[in-house]
Structure 1
Amino acid sequence: MFKHQINGQLDLRLLHYCHADEVYECVDRNRSHLERWFPWVKLTTDSGAIRKFIEAELHRYAKNNGFSAGIFYEDRYIGNISFHDVNWNTKLSSIGYWLVSDYEGKGIMTSCCRALIHHGFEVMGLNKIEIRARTDNNRSRAIPLKLGFREEGILRSVSYYHDEYYDHVVYGLLRDEWKGASDEAVGGLN
């Protein structure tokens, strides 16, 4: 099974069907926190919805078109991080992520993104990685800035949720801008 150890407490794992109940329980416990940002939360009414998500992500991984990994802290599922569809012509992909509120502000997502960035540039051979965040999501917007991404612009009214349109900020990082691993050993994802 795909697993990447970030540190003694934190690892990323390719999700499998055996994770469906744990992922659903995590989403269900954090529903009010996650619903603010993600429309898919309302549609996640049982672990069957998670199984369908996992199946789709495993197919995407098998087609070499990105992947989704669970974030596990002390062997407990606490969120997700993904490489969305890959444009192999331009060697471009984007990272998406979410984390339960109890673990925000601890540097966990920054460490997970650093691991994916390293994997994207050093293993997948990407030339550019993007991160997009709603303009009102300050926590999410801080992560790409910490990692050396540049703000490239604002996409106006690109999402519609809770009867409102939202703008997204696009951050980009080119392979030759990547500074490489920090003091944290990130290595490739196997």
Structure 2
Amino acid sequence: MLVHKIDDEVSLRLFNKNDAEEFYHLTMTSKPYLKEWLGWLDYVNTVEDTEKNIQSRWDELKANGGYPLSFAIIYNGRIAGTIGFNQIVWANKTGTVGYWLGEDYQGKGIMSRAFQALINYGFDDLKLNRIEVRAASGNDKSTALPVKFGFKEEGVIRQAEWLYNHYVDHVIYGLLSEDMK
């Protein structure tokens, strides 16, 4: 899946080197908005940092037998955010999904469409048995998404992540391939 057209507005595709500047600017313009829930933003300071991130996505492609794990979310020809599997444990056939959308792209149904496509890809192409989402407690937009798609809330990991000056709990949501039938 190098490019997956979802509809006339939204598609998923692999990042490429030419995306570094656009993706960096999206990250920087959305930084104040995203920083409430994403702890890695202070590590992105230059376009070169974004180039390294994109290269790591290509490295994971090689490491996973040609199966990409993360994608640019394209909305009307522009990068709107990213979605993918932050982790896959192939021995257990489980994947953990991560996602974010630039502030200007919120409220358009973009992430719902991208999320559905990624879930289908995980079960149909990657042959995963279980897909999970871990979202910070209180991050209502991120926690609403798995609920909307039938994920079950399975528990809370207390103080799972350090966000700049405090810990946040993670709520875990899971969906099994058999739940899709």
Q: Normalised by the shorter chain, which TM-score bucket?
A: over 0.9
1:10 corresponding residue in structure 2: 10
Question: TM-score scaled to structure 1, two decimals?
Answer: 0.90
Tell me the distance in 1 between the aligned counterparts of 2:134 and 2:106: 18
Tell me the distance in 1 between the aligned counterparts of 2:101 and 2:165: 24
Instruction: Tell me whether 1:42 sits opposite 2:42 in the alignment.
Output: yes
State how many pairs are aligned: 179
Q: Aligned to 1:116, which of 109, 118, 136?
A: 118
Q: Deviations over 1:12-58 (max 9, x none)?
A: 11111111011001111111111111122111111100011111111
Q: Deviations over 1:64-108 (max 9, x none)?
A: 176210111000111000112211111001110000122222221
Alignment RMSD, CA only? 1.3
1:73 corresponding residue in structure 2: 75
Letter of the structure 2 residue corresponding to residue 60 of structure 1 = E
Instruction: Tell me whether 1:99 sits opposite 2:114 in the alignment.
Output: no
Distance 1:115 1:13, change over 3 A: same
CA contact (8 A) 2:14 2:68 kept: no
Tell me the distance in 2 between the aligned counterparts of 1:167 and 1:118: 28
Structure 2's unaligned 5+ residue stretches are none
5 Å matches for 1:1-190?
2-64=2-64, 67-179=69-181
